[in-house]
């Protein structure tokens, strides 16, 4: 499935992008916010990789491992979303203080 491969590569590139932004940032709340974004991207990568494996090699072991990847990816996306919602107000406050 070429569309799944496209989204796998896209999510991996977003993961690398957010990790580079994480390293370059010096603000503590912004770093945690970027860590949440990179966690979402990594979760999408792992989940989509599991979905892709289901189509490539149809066997029982592949279904089990693919399901594990999909579940791990789902929980990583969920944790990243919770992190984003929690740290967003603190990041906005931190950026407002930087302007003043």
At residue 28's C-alpha, the angle toward residues 25 and 32, to 5°, is 85
Rounded to whole angstroms, the Cα distance separating 17 from 19 reads 6
Residues 6+ apart with CB under 8 A from 81: 36, 40
Give pLDDT tens digits for 12-49.
999 999 999 999 999 999 999 999 999 999 999 999 99
User: Does 1 score more than 80 pLDDT?
Assistant: no
Contacts of 37 (CB under 8 A, 6+ apart): 14, 18, 80, 84
> Residue ranges of the domains in the chain?
2-99
pLDDT surpassing 80 at residue 100: no
Q: Which of 39, 34, 42, 16 is nearest to 91 (CA)?
A: 34
| Cα–Cα–Cα angle for 15, 16, 20, rounded to 5 degrees | 120
pLDDT at 12: 96
pTM, to two decimals: 0.89
Model pLDDT for residues 35-87, shown as the tens digit of each residue: 999 999 999 999 999 999 998 888 999 999 999 999 999 999 999 999 999 99
């Amino acid at each position: 499935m070429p569309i799944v491969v496209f989204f796998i590569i896209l999510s991996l590139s977003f993961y690398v992008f957010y990790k580079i932004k994480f390293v370059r940032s010096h603000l503590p709340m912004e770093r945690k916010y970027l860590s949440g974004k990179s966690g979402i991207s990594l979760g999408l990568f792992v989940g989509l990789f599991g979905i892709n494996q289901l189509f490539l090699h149809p066997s029982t072991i592949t279904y089990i491992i693919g399901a594990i990847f999909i579940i791990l990816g789902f929980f990583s996306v969920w944790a990243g979303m919770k992190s984003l919602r929690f740290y967003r107000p603190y990041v906005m406050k931190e950026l407002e203080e930087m302007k003043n």
